[in-house]
């Protein structure tokens, strides 16, 4: 089992900066404003041939019952409950605060291994604050600077040894084979129900939810299995029009969501059935298609509309008119709050993934090309007919084809669309981006 490490501490002590250092990428949002991190997010590290999963959590703070901050604390508690090791981070420059001491007492009662990290120890500014950590009774502190990288070599060695000890105790072999999970991202406008859907799919409260729009900031990744198949599930921040974004934190959230979509393989575009299809939904679908991702549309909150079938038909018509380049996207009506329709959604996701990976034999492609040209011959600009000689698939993910043409520069866009739609229909590729490139064949008499 993967060794799991939770980074905790009060707000603005550098937890997300340390998380980014450990994972080697700017995966967590970092800002001077306290409380940027809301959900706990996961990152993978490989140290000493052992996989380590690191959790970045919301800052520990006192909050009123039922508030957003209180729900954030529950997320942190859930991360700590799953962790095998706790990294308790505090600001050595500011020194220990009563809040640090309060939460250190709570951590001590958990009975889990804890390593205290005195952050911001670059230079001599944090030496005094580092000595104060002995009073916590959690063992010898380790002085680091997550921003500048000081002391991280010692931390890496400590984590590698801890992961080694954990693997030995669990009887696992170093570097054992692990199945590659399907990378599935959920995207949509704010308040479409993305986090609620994620929680329903995995069967636990992993992501923060509530009536407030824009709760999710980081793109949250969760490892999950559906019918024995491994999935890496991403919950992303709600995406609004650029003209409406003026908060720097929302800009960071949007960038994080776009990165999650680029690294995914299948995207679920989640729409609110009680809100009409609009320009922003179309732009999100265009984004997924431009990135070459397989796509499924989830029509959420169907329990709030009177005629679900009419809503699906209206959406199908709108999508066919707005997105002819990815015609045939499956639309799954569902209710994320209750789980109705989620099995059909996941079945559609795996079917879209299979189509996205499909390879078509060259012989079948060229039979299709002959029939397509016979039914609808290419134009003859200047009195000379354009000849399409050969077609082959050069890659999948998404399916990408190359056709050799006598004069590709003269082939009109309408004929290219005719061939792409023909490929999609002939080889059962609805809703999958299809790439078709045209190249000029060599002159055999040259």
Dump pLDDT digits (tens) for 169-191: 655 544 444 568 899 999 888 88
Q: Mark which of 106, 141, 170 sits at the end of a domain.
A: 170
Q: Are residues 317 and 387 in the same domain?
A: no
Highest mean pLDDT among 225-239, 339-353, 381-395: 339-353
pLDDT range class, residue 23, cuts 50, 70, 90: confident
Q: Which residue from 365, 407, 187 is spatially nearest to 289, judged by alpha carbons?
A: 187
Q: Are residues 137 and 213 in the same domain?
A: no
Tell me whether residue 177 is in a domain: no
Span 428-442, average pLDDT: 87
SS3 at position 337: coil
Helices (H), 117-151: 127-132
Tell me whether residue 86 is in a domain: yes
Q: Are residues 273 and 202 in the same domain?
A: yes
Q: Mark which of 335, 356, 377 sits at the end of a domain.
A: 356
CA angle (276, 277, 278) in 5-degree steps: 105
Question: Which CATH number fits the domain that encloses residue 262?
Answer: 3.40.50.300
Question: Which CATH number fits the domain that encloses residue 414?
Answer: 3.30.300.20
Tell me whether residue 176 is in a domain: no
Name the token pair of 229.
């198949």
Burial of 203 (0-12, 13-18, 19+ CB in 10 A): exposed
Q: Are residues 33 and 164 in the same domain?
A: yes
pLDDT range class, residue 441, cuts 50, 70, 90: low
Q: What is the CB neighbour count within 10 angstroms for residue 220?
A: 26
Q: Are the CB atoms for 42 and 34 separated by under 8 Å? A: no
- The least confident of 73-82, 343-352, 364-373 is 73-82
Q: Are residues 207 and 328 in the same domain?
A: yes
| DSSP structure string for 53-93 | EEEE-PPP----TTSHHHHHHHHHHHHHHH-SEEEEEEETT
Residues above pLDDT 90, as percent of the chain: 25
Q: Are residues 143 and 192 in the same domain?
A: no
Q: Are residues 80 and 201 in the same domain?
A: no
Tell me whether residue 114 is in a domain: yes
**Each residue's pLDDT tens digit, 212-225:** 554 555 567 788 89
For the sheet with 142-143, list strands across it.
41-47, 50-56, 3-8, 85-91, 114-119, 142-143
Q: Are residues 245 and 298 in the same domain?
A: yes
Name the token pair of 334.
């569902």
Q: Mark which of 170, 200, 216 sits at the end of a domain.
A: 170
| Rounded alpha-carbon distances, angstroms, from residue 393 to 60, 288, 357, 364 | 53, 22, 12, 11
> In terms of residue numbers, what domain contains 389?
362-440
Q: Return the pLDDT at 1.
A: 65
Residue identified by tokens 């692990």 is 178
Q: Return the pLDDT at 285.
A: 87
pLDDT score of 208 more than 70: no
pLDDT score of 444 more than 70: no
Q: Are residues 159 and 305 in the same domain?
A: no
State the total domains in the chain. Answer: 3
| DSSP structure string for 358-420 | ----HHHHHHHHHHHHHHSPPP-GGG----EEEEEEEETTTTEEEEEES-GGGS-HHHHHHHH
* Average confidence score pLDDT of the chain: 81
pTM comes to: 0.64
Q: Are residues 279 and 402 in the same domain?
A: no
Q: Are residues 387 and 351 in the same domain?
A: no
- The least confident of 149-163, 239-253, 417-431 is 239-253
Highest mean pLDDT among 61-75, 135-149, 350-364: 350-364
**Each residue's pLDDT tens digit, 241-295:** 555 555 555 455 566 667 778 888 999 999 999 888 888 888 888 888 888 899 9
- The least confident of 47-61, 131-145, 236-250, 424-438 is 236-250
Q: Are residues 54 and 164 in the same domain?
A: yes
Residues 6+ apart with CB under 8 A from 197: 186, 268, 270, 298, 300, 334, 336, 342
Q: What stretch of H or E contains 172?
A: none
Span 379-397, average pLDDT: 89
Tell me whether residue 445 is in a domain: no
Q: What is the CB neighbour count within 10 angstroms for residue 403?
A: 21
Q: Return the pLDDT at 266.
A: 94
HSE at residue 104, side-chain half, CA atoms within 13 A, is 21
Distance from C-alpha of 75 to C-alpha of 65, rounded to nearest angstrom? 14
Q: Return the pLDDT at 446.
A: 55
Q: What are phi and psi of 72, to 5 degrees?
A: -65, -40
Q: Return the pLDDT at 34.
A: 46
Strand pairing category for 182-188 and 266-272: parallel
Tell me whether residue 103 is in a domain: yes
Q: Which residue has the higher pLDDT, 205 or 125?
A: 205
């Amino acid at each position: 089992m993967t060794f799991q490490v939770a980074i905790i501490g009060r707000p603005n002590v550098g937890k997300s900066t340390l998380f980014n250092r450990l994972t080697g990428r700017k995966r967590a949002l970092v800002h001077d404003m306290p409380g940027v991190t809301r959900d706990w997010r996961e990152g993978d590290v490989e140290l000493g041939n052992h996989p380590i999963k690191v959790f970045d959590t919301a800052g520990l703070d006192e909050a009123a019952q039922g508030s957003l901050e209180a729900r954030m604390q529950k997320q942190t508690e859930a991360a700590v409950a799953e962790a095998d090791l706790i990294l308790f981070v505090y600001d050595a420059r500011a020194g220990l605060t009563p809040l640090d001491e309060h939460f250190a007492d709570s951590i001590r009662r958990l009975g889990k291994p804890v390593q205290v990290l005195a952050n911001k120890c670059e230079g001599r500014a944090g030496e005094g604050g580092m000595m104060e950590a002995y009073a916590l009774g959690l063992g010898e502190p380790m002085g680091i600077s997550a921003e500048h990288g000081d002391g991280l070599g010692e931390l890496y060695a400590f984590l590698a040894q801890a992961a080694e000890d954990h693997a030995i105790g669990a009887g696992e072999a170093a570097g054992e084979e692990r199945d590659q999970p399907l990378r599935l991202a959920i995207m949509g406008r704010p308040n479409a129900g993305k986090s609620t859907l994620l929680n329903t799919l995995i069967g636990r409260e992993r992501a923060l939810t509530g009536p407030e729009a824009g709760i999710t900031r980081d793109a949250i990744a969760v490892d999950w299995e559906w019918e024995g198949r491994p999935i890496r599930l991403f919950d992303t921040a709600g995406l609004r029009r650029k003209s409406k974004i003026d908060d720097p934190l929302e800009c960071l959230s949007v960038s994080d969501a776009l990165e999650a979509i680029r690294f995914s393989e299948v995207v679920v575009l989640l729409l609110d059935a009680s809100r009409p299809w609009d320009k922003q939904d179309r732009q999100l679908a265009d984004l997924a298609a431009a990135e070459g991702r397989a796509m499924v549309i989830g029509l959420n909150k169907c329990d709030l509309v009177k005629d679900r079938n009419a809503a699906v038909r209206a959406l199908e018509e709108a999508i066919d008119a707005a997105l002819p380049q990815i015609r045939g996207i499956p639309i799954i009506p569902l209710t994320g709050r209750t789980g109705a329709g989620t099995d059909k959604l996941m079945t559609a996701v795996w079917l879209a993934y299979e189509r996205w990976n499909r390879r078509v034999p060259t012989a079948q492609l060229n039979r299709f090309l002959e029939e397509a040209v016979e039914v609808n011959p290419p134009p003859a600009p200047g009195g000379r007919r354009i000849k399409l000689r050969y077609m082959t698939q050069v890659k999948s993910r998404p399916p990408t084809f190359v056709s050799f043409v006598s004069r590709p520069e003269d082939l009109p866009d309408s004929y290219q669309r005719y061939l792409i739609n023909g490929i999609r229909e002939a080889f059962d590729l609805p809703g999958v981006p299809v790439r078709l490139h045209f190249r000029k064949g060599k002159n055999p008499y040259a």
